[in-house]
Structure 1
Amino acid sequence: MTDLWNQQAVQQYIDIEIQESLVLEYKAAEALGKSDGKMREITKDVSAMANSSGGRIIYGVKEYGSPDKKHLPEKIDPIEQDKISKEWLEQVINNIRPRIDGLLIYPIQLDSALNHVAYVVEIPQSTTAHQATDWRYYKRFNFQAVPMEDYEIRDTMGRKQYPKIGLDFKIELATKRYFSQFENKQHIETSCVLKVTARNTGGIYAQFVNTFISIPLPLLHELTIEQIKHENEEMIVEEGQKYYEYYEDNTVRDVVDVESNIYLSIPKYGPSRYDPILPGLSRTWEIILRGDFEKVDLDGLLIKWSTHVDNAPVSEGQVAVSDIRIIDDRNA
C-alpha cells in the first residue's frame, strides 16, 4: 500500500471529487495541533472509525466551505513535517484505549516544500469498542463522529459473538424511456430509486436478516400510494408524519426448472430460502420513490429502520433524507 499512496493518489481524490462517507474523512492541516482539544479530537475521529466500519482519514486535505459542496475535497493543505511528525501522530493515536491493532499511517511527501506532507491513516474495523481520551466511545454517523449509546458499545464489543448488519443509503436518479403502443409515442421520465445496502460488519455470518424501513409519505411513488389505498393498508404516524413500512430480508429463490416454447423461456422458481450474508459482504434492496423527488421539501424528513439479525440485539436508526448521497445518472 505504501507505493500506492503518493501526492498523485491524493490529488485524484480531489480531481474526481470523492465525497466523504462512513469510511472516508478529510482533515485540513489545522486538525493536527498540539493543544489538548485537538489531540482529543484526533482520538475521537480515529476511534469512531474503528468502532464503525473502519476506513481512512486523510490529513492534509481541505474541504470546500460552501454548503453546495459539503463534504467534498477542495485542495491539498500541506502539513509541516518538522512540527507534526508521523511519530507524534502515532503517539497521539496510541492514547486510544485499547490500542487499535493493524492501524497504519502513511506519510506522503508533497512537492510544495521539502517539509510538506500529508498523512493517510488506514483504520481497520475493530472487534471491540475503543475509547477516546475524553473517556467516551464514538461512532461514524452522517459524516461525523458522534457518541455511542450504551447498547451500541456493548454491541460493538460483541462483534465476535454475533453478526453486525449496518445499513448504507443512497438515492439514484436515472432517465427512464419507454414506448406506449396505446399512445404510439415514446415517454421519457425520471426514475428515483433508494438503494439500501445491508453489510455484515461483524465477525460471523448472518443467517437470518429482517429489516423494516419506514419511508415518509412525501417520498412515496404514486403507485405505492394507490396500492396503500386499494389494499386499505395502515401507515405509521410519528410526530405528525406518516410513514409506509417496507419489509426486506436476505431470502432468495432458486431456478429449479425452465419451461420453453417457440416464443420464450419461463423460469420456474423453488421456495424462498435464506441466503447468509458473510462477514464483509452485503445485500442491496431497492425501493422506488416518486419521480419528481427533487421537488420535495426534504427539510425534517427522516428514513427510519430497525434490523433483526439472528441472536444479535435489534439495531435501530434513522437518517435525514437531506444527508443521503444522491447519484444523478440522468445524463450518463
Structure 2
Amino acid sequence: MELSWVQSLVDNQVQESLYLEFKRGDALSPQNNSKTEMIKDVTALAHASGGHLVYGIEEEPVNDIPAAVRLRPVTDKKLNKDWVTKVITDNTSPSLTDFEVFEFPVDGGRVLVIKVEEASTAHQNLLDYRYHQRVNTVSRCMADFQIRDLMSRRSSPSCEVRVRLERITINRDNHVYRLRVELLNTGMVSMEKWWISIDVPKECLAGLTYPQSELRTHPRFGKVVREVDKGGFDFIRFSWGDPFFDGDRYILHPGQSLDFGSNNDSLHTQAPLPPIVVEFNHRIFRSLVHRAPELQWTLYTNHGQPVSSSVPFEQWCNF
C-alpha cells in the first residue's frame, strides 16, 4: 500500500462503504473510549467482509453525501503502528491478528491505515464486551444468531470455484477448448461429502450423444452425466463429488485444490479423466448468440448452503 492510495481517496472525494471507514486523526487517542471505538470498527469490518479503517481523513458533505475532502492527520507521535497493533491484539478475544497497519508521514503528522481481513470466527471487544459487524457504513451490535453464524465459520467448509476454457486448437473456422473446473478449499476444515455440477450447452459438445434424461456414467468421461432442459434449451450436466459414483473418496483438505479438465486430472490418482472438450464454429455460434447461455455451476457441501454462479456467455464463448 502507498500514500498515493490515501491521497486518491481525498482527490476523488470517495465515500465510506461496507469496506471503508474514515476517521479524523484526533479520533485516535490513548483514552479508553477511543480504543473502544477503534476495536469496534476493526472487528466490525472483520465480521463483515474485511476492509480498511483510515485514521487521518476528514469528511464533509459533497452533494449532501459525506465524502473524504482533506487529510487531517494523527499528531500524537506515540500513536503509531506498534501502538495500534498492541491495542487491537490485547483487547480482542480471541485475539484478532489477521490485520496489517500502514503508517504514512504527511504534513502535520501521519496517516494510519488498518487493513482488516475477513474473520474466521467472532471476536469480542474486551473493552465493552460486545460484538460488532459492519452494515453498509455503520458498525452495529450483533445479534446472538449472527455471532453463532460467525463462530461456525471455522467448522463450515469454504471453497473457491474457478471455471475457464483452455485453448486446444484455434483456426478461422473452428475453435476447440478444454473446459477446466478448479476447486480450492479456502476454509479451515476439510471438504468431504461435496458435489459440484456444471451445465454446458449441448451444441458445444459436438459429436457426443446422451440418452434423454438418463443419469449414468459416460464411457468417455467417467463422470456422472445427464441431459437437462432449461426453458426449451438442452444442456449437458457434468458432476463430480465425494464420494464418487464408485464409492471412492475425494476429500479436499484446507489449502488443497482439485483441477478437473487438466492434462493430469487431480481428482483421479490412477488414471486421468478425459477432458470435457468444447467446440465452436460459425453455425454453433449463431445458434447460441441470440440466447447467450451461461456456463452455470452449483457446489453442494456438507453442513453448508449450496453456492451457485455462472460464467457469462461473452467470457466463455469468444468465437
State the TM-score bracket (shorter-chain normalisation): 0.5 to 0.7
**Aligned match of 1:153:** 147
Secondary structure of the 1:129 match is coil
Distance 2:16 2:305 in 1: 29
- Across the aligned residues of Structure 1 and Structure 2, the Cα RMSD in angstroms comes to 3.9
Which has the larger displacement, 155-164 or 74-83?
A: 155-164
**Alignment equivalent of 2:84, drawn from 89, 95, 106:** 89
- Are residues 251 and 58 of structure 1, via their aligned partners in 2, closer, same or farther at CA, if it must alter by over 3 Å? farther
Kindly provide the amino acid, as one letter, of the partner of residue 200 in structure 2.
Answer: D
**Aligned match of 1:124:** 117
- Are residues 146 and 313 of structure 1, via their aligned partners in 2, closer, same or farther at CA, if it must alter by over 3 Å? farther
How far apart are 1:86 and its partner, in Å? Answer: 2.4
Kindly provide the amino acid, as one letter, of the partner of residue 5 in structure 1.
Answer: E
1:16 aligns with 2:12: yes
Contact 1:253 1:269 in 2 (8 A): no
**Alignment equivalent of 1:80, drawn from 75, 83, 95:** 75
| More contact order relative to length (CA 8 Å, sep ≥ 6) | 1
Distance 1:33 1:136 in 2: 21
- Are residues 141 and 251 of structure 1, via their aligned partners in 2, closer, same or farther at CA, if it must alter by over 3 Å? farther
How far apart are 1:102 and its partner, in Å? Answer: 2.8
- Are residues 254 and 80 of structure 1, via their aligned partners in 2, closer, same or farther at CA, if it must alter by over 3 Å? same
How far apart are 1:202 and its partner, in Å? Answer: 6.4
Distance 1:263 1:201 in 2: 37
Using the size of structure 2 for normalisation, the TM-score is 0.53
Gapped regions of structure 1 (runs ≥ 5): 166-199, 209-249, 278-308, 315-332
- Are residues 201 and 74 of structure 1, via their aligned partners in 2, closer, same or farther at CA, if it must alter by over 3 Å? farther
Using the size of structure 1 for normalisation, the TM-score is 0.51
1:47 aligns with 2:43: yes
How far apart are 1:134 and its partner, in Å? Answer: 0.5
Secondary structure of the 1:153 match is helix
How far apart are 1:163 and its partner, in Å? Answer: 5.3
How far apart are 1:140 and its partner, in Å? Answer: 0.6
Distance 1:62 1:158 in 2: 37
- Are residues 62 and 310 of structure 1, via their aligned partners in 2, closer, same or farther at CA, if it must alter by over 3 Å? farther
Which has the larger displacement, 20-29 or 134-143?
A: 20-29
Distance 1:264 1:155 in 2: 45
Per-residue CA shift, 1:260-307, capped at 9, x if unaligned?
A: 898972139999964339xxxxxxxxxxxxxxxxxxxxxxxxxxxxxx
How far apart are 1:93 and its partner, in Å? Answer: 1.3
- Are residues 30 and 106 of structure 1, via their aligned partners in 2, closer, same or farther at CA, if it must alter by over 3 Å? same
Per-residue CA shift, 1:152-189, capped at 9, x if unaligned?
A: 11111111322579xxxxxxxxxxxxxxxxxxxxxxxx
Contact 1:256 1:270 in 2 (8 A): no
- Are residues 203 and 276 of structure 1, via their aligned partners in 2, closer, same or farther at CA, if it must alter by over 3 Å? farther
Structure with bigger strand share is 1
**Aligned match of 1:141:** 135
How far apart are 1:5 and its partner, in Å? Answer: 2.0
Per-residue CA shift, 1:297-323, capped at 9, x if unaligned?
A: xxxxxxxxxxxx973489xxxxxxxxx
**Alignment equivalent of 1:254, drawn from 174, 196, 200:** 200
Gapped regions of structure 2 (runs ≥ 5): 160-184, 207-280, 307-319
- Are residues 276 and 36 of structure 1, via their aligned partners in 2, closer, same or farther at CA, if it must alter by over 3 Å? same
